[in-house]
C-alpha cells in the first residue's frame, strides 16, 4: 500500500469550473438511537447516506464560468454527477447539487472560488448512492 499524493487529484462536474486545486468531502450516515428500557448500553441503527463537501481554486476569466450558470446546473431532483479524484484509480462519484459558491478577489492578487456541494440522490432501498473505485 502506497501513500496517495494529492498532486494528482481532481474534481469534475457540471457547474464546477475554474482552476481548481483543492477538494474535501465528508461521507456520513444518519444514526438513529433505538435504545430501549431493557438495553444496558446504547443501541443505534444506521440510516440514509449523506455527503457534503467543497472544491476550491482560482477564478476562471473565460466565458465558461458565467455561461455554465453554476447554481442552476444542479437543479434536477438528483443533481449532477460530481467525481472526486484523489489520484488515478481512486475516485468517488455521486449525484450532488452545488448549493453555494463563494468568491474572493483582493488587491494582493488573489481571485479564489469555492463551490459547496451536497448529496442529492434518488437511489432507493439500501443501495449506496456512491460509485467508488479505489485501487
25: pLDDT strictly greater than 60? yes
Query: Model's pTM, two decimal places?
Result: 0.83
- Cell 431532483 sits on residue: 77
Please give the pLDDT value at position 66. 52
| Residue 11, burial from CB neighbour count under 10 angstroms (0-12, 13-18, 19+) | buried
Please give the pLDDT value at position 60. 78
71: pLDDT strictly greater than 80? no
Domains and CATH numbers, the chain: 7-28+47-125 (2.40.30)
Cell representation of residue 125: 432501498
65: pLDDT strictly greater than 60? no
Question: What whole-number percentage of the chain has pLDDT above 90?
Answer: 44
Q: State the CB neighbour count (10 A cutoff) for residue 12.
A: 15
78: pLDDT strictly greater than 70? no
* Highest mean pLDDT, choosing among 18-27, 28-37, 61-70, 102-111: 28-37
User: What mean pLDDT do residues 71-97 have?
Assistant: 81
CB 78 within 8 A of CB 95: yes
CB 51 within 8 A of CB 96: yes
- Binned at pLDDT 50, 70 and 90, residue 42 comes out as very high
Please give the pLDDT value at position 33. 97
31: pLDDT strictly greater than 70? yes
70: pLDDT strictly greater than 60? no
User: What mean pLDDT do residues 57-86 have?
Assistant: 70
Three-state secondary-structure class, residue 48: strand
Amino acid at each position: 500500500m502506497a501513500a496517495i499524493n494529492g498532486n494528482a487529484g481532481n474534481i469534475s462536474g457540471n457547474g464546477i469550473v475554474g482552476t481548481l486545486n483543492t477538494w474535501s468531502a465528508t461521507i456520513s450516515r444518519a444514526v438513529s438511537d433505538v435504545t430501549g428500557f431493557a438495553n444496558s448500553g446504547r443501541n443505534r441503527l444506521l440510516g440514509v447516506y449523506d455527503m457534503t463537501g467543497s472544491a476550491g481554486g482560482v477564478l476562471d476569466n473565460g466565458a465558461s464560468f458565467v455561461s455554465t450558470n453554476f447554481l442552476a446546473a444542479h437543479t434536477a431532483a438528483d443533481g449532477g454527477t460530481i467525481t472526486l479524484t484523489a489520484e488515478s484509480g481512486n475516485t468517488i462519484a455521486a449525484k450532488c447539487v452545488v448549493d453555494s459558491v463563494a468568491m474572493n478577489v483582493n488587491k494582493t492578487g488573489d481571485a479564489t472560488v469555492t463551490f459547496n456541494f451536497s448529496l442529492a440522490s434518488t437511489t432507493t432501498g439500501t443501495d449506496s448512492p456512491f460509485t467508488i473505485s479505489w485501487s
